[in-house]
Amino acid sequence: MRVPDESKHPRAMTSPSAAKGRWLVLLFLGMALGVSADSPYPLIERAHHADPLFRQHQDAVQEYYLRSRSGRPHPPLAVYRFVPSPDDTLLTLAARFTLPYSTLASINRITTSTIPPGLPFVLIPSIPGIYVPEAPSSDLEHLLTELRFIDGSEGIPVSLHPAAGPTRFRLFIGDDFDRVERLSFLNILFRRPVENIRITSPYGYRLSPFGGGRAFHAGVDFAAPIGTPVRASREGQVTSVGFDPVFGNFVVIGHHGGYETFYGHLDSISVQLNDVVASSMMIGTVGNSGLSTGPHLHFEIRLNGETRDPAQLMPGLYR
C-alpha cells in the first residue's frame, strides 16, 4: 500500500475518518542483508556508496523527492538502522543521509542534536517528515503534538521500533520543525514557571513602582496568590539559593549552553544548592518577600550573565 497523495502539504492529508485504518506498509529493501534477530530493520554498515544498503536508502530518498516535486503519489516507507560513531551528531547524520535533522530527531525520539551515549542504533527512514509519538513524553514531543494537532490534522499512523522501544507514531510527511520546535531541539526553549497567571510587568523599561522614574526591568513579573507552585522553567542544576533585600527569597538554576533562570520574591523554597531539577519540577512557591508591591514571581532568563527577554525564548508568553 502506498502513502496517499491527497495533498503535498502533510497537515492537510488526513481527516479523522480517512485516517482510520490507514497504515504505512514498511518496505524493508534488501531485508535479507543486515537484518538481525533483535531488529526488523536492515543495517547500513557505512554511510558510503560502497555500502549497498546505503545506496538503496539514497535511491529511495531521491525517489521520494522526485515524486513530491512532480505531484505523484509518495513511495512506500523504507526504514533502516545505523550505528552512530561517538563523533556523530544528528546534524552530521542528517547531512550524510540527505534527510532533515528534524526527521532523525523525531523518529528516534532524541530531543537534542547530541546522540545519547550508548544508543545502540538510530532509525534512518526513506521519507522525510515529523514522526509524532502518540504518547509524547519529552518537552519536544509535547510541542510536536500540540502544534501539529491544533488544526485537526492527524498525520498517518506508523508503528516502528526505535531504540527507545516500540512506538506508535503519526507521520506528517515532508514537515519540518517550526521556530518553536527548533528552539526546543537546540535546547534554548523555556516553559512558564507558573501557570494560569497574569503578567503585571514585562521585560524592558518601565516606570519604577517605588521611585516613579524610568527604570529597566530585567525580567517578567507573574502575579499569583501566595503559595502558587513555582516550577523549573527547564531542566538544570540549582546554582544559588538565598535571600536578597530586593528580590527576597530566590533560586537560581543553571542550564546547558550558558543559560540560567532566576526566581525571586518566593514565599517558600523546596530545593537546595546543587540539586538537579527536571523541567516543570516544583522549586518553591510564589510569595511577597523582599521589596515587593504584592504577591508575584519575578522571573529572569540570563545568558552568560546577561538578561534576555523571556518572550524570545518562551512561545506565547504574553498571550
- 167 and 266: one domain? no
CA–CA separation, 202 and 319 (whole Å) = 12
Cα dist. 107→38, 56, 72, 201 in Å? Answer: 18, 19, 24, 40
Confidence (pLDDT) at 216: 92
- 32 and 153: one domain? yes
CA–CA separation, 100 and 177 (whole Å) = 9
Q: Is residue 263 in a domain?
A: yes
Q: What is the dihedral of CA 142, 232, 246, 265, to 10 degrees?
A: 90
Q: Is residue 4 in a domain?
A: no
Confidence (pLDDT) at 280: 87
CATH of the domain at 306: 2.70.70.10
Question: 123 is written with which cell numbers?
Answer: 532509525
Q: Is residue 22 in a domain?
A: yes
CA–CA separation, 182 and 13 (whole Å) = 23
- 63 and 135: one domain? yes
Cα dist. 180→64, 224, 278 in Å? Answer: 27, 26, 20
Half-sphere exposure of 249 (CA within 13 A, CB side): 17
Q: Is residue 317 in a domain?
A: no
Confidence (pLDDT) at 180: 75
Beta-bridged to residue 266, according to DSSP, are 249, 286
- The low-confidence residues of the chain, meaning pLDDT below 50, are 1-37
Residue 40: φ, ψ to 5°: -85, 0
- 58 and 157: one domain? yes
Q: Is residue 159 in a domain?
A: yes
The number of residues in the chain equals 319
- 233 and 150: one domain? no
Confidence (pLDDT) at 80: 98
Confidence (pLDDT) at 319: 64
Q: What is the DSSP string of 159-188?
A: EE--TT--EEEEEEET----HHHHHHHTT-
Domains identified in the chain, total number: 2
Range of the domain at 215: 198-312
- 252 and 305: one domain? yes
- 167 and 203: one domain? no
Q: Closest by alpha carbon to 126, among 68, 171, 175, 79?
A: 79
Q: pLDDT tens across 19-39, in order?
A: 333 334 333 333 333 444 456
Question: 246 is written with which cell numbers?
Answer: 530586593
Quick one: angle between helices 139-149 and 101-108, nearest 10? 110
Q: Is residue 319 in a domain?
A: no
